[in-house]
Structure 1
Amino acid sequence: MAGNVGEDETTRILKILKEHPLGMSIKEISAAVSMSRNSAAKYLEVLTVSGQLELRHIGNAKLYTLSRRIPIGNLLNHAGELIIVLDNDLRIVQASDSFCLFAGVPRPKILGFHLSSLTVPLLSERDELELQALLRGGPSLKKEIRAVRNGDEVFFNGRFIPALFENGGSGVTVILEDITERMRAERATLERDRLLHTIFHIPTTPQFYIDRNHKVVYWDRALEIMTGIKAEEMVGTHNHWKMFYPAERPCLADLVIDGNHARIAALYAGSRLPNADEQYEYTGFFSSLGAGGKWLHITAMPIRDPAGNLTGAMETVEDVTDKKNRGFIVSE
């Protein structure tokens, strides 16, 4: 089947059959729409499989009439899933509106193609070989499908069900449930757990962790005791600055995420440059802490995933007021 089924040709065939409610043969239809017999046969096959035409055999002749049933396309378009019907050659003969919208291609330009040859391929040629068993009456298959559309990953739970057409031909009905949001949520949970695992293996100096959007995702118990601010007041907010300053300004961890080395030098004068772990260090006096202020030793370092992508930053906070008052700390 060719992959360029046109809207004009199908419309002309349906129009001429509407004018002949008792039915027409392939020869009569091809002559009426000025189309070769082979081409007309291919369009008639698609229209029959999709439920728009009915086929009757009168002797050796095939007689086509407009269907008096609800077209399968109407049913497909009311389903929440993406649905595709494949013929015996595993070419698309029907597709729901939702699938056409996902593929970004009008229905006439999808018909006749394999799922492996679409602009957004959903199966590999090897996957399609596995579907051959369904054409021979094999059991239904389930498969998780990953595709890339416009640079973004999308995921589907795919069900592949053997189908039998009225003309006796075999095919496959494909039902795709979009599970992209669920997969993203699962990945985010795994990443959060991995990061918290990393955090818990760092020495227990008071610390907090912010993600790359500068939102607090972890505020430890030692920090609660030092600041009097509970984790539930901080997690999910951008308010970590409140433990240091009377008015909002970036913390060292914020600037590490931004990679703003110039501003680090300006706001945290005397801070040590990053070491091999990309860790900044700063010791300074914070007047808004406690009754008379506190001297704090702060470190901040980026946190990266296994691929090296920045996911957030960790900041540790050590109260060194006593050491400073005893002269054990040299201001940096």
Structure 2
Amino acid sequence: MGLKYAKQLRIFTTNDYRRLFRLKNLDSIIELTKDDDLSGNIRRSMPPGIRFFDHFEARAILDYLQIEGEKISILREIRDSQNNIEKIEGLFEQFYDFFLKIAKERNEYSQAIRQELTASERAMKQIVQGSTIPTFVINRDHIVTHWNKACENLTGYPAEKIVGTNKQWMPFRSKERPIMADLVLD
């Protein structure tokens, strides 16, 4: 849907992101594939000064463009209606239905992403907790998100004391210092 709409608006599209970098006066790239690896590759290799919109941001832009296009079309029809109240009410209903459809699609998309994230988090937790190897996970802010039983047994620190904090160093150091996981993350 997004590619078709972009082509209708005469927006350049390609299946090889490197071709984008050869365009003169390129100031924005909109990624529509939902491919996180592709997004990462584009971000790492694009020239400086270009604004990048991932598929989440692109979806909002697409919604805005579609709503704006429909609004312009409806306003034109209202002007041509010669103040026919029934026709104006019908146009209002048409615009409402259009807007409602976009809101419904947006909600369904958000719900699907939420379900995927929940399933992914559950799988990650099961993998980490099921391991006999002492394992913990930190997020990009160096906050511990997982601390398995094997890690509890090795360190004597229960997960409740460590998860949700940046105190992964406590079982391994006498004072606060980065541990290997922090260094790898940075």
| TM-score (norm. length: structure 2) | 0.46
In terms of fraction of residues, the more strand-rich structure is 1
In terms of fraction of residues, the more helix-rich structure is 2
Larger radius of gyration: 1
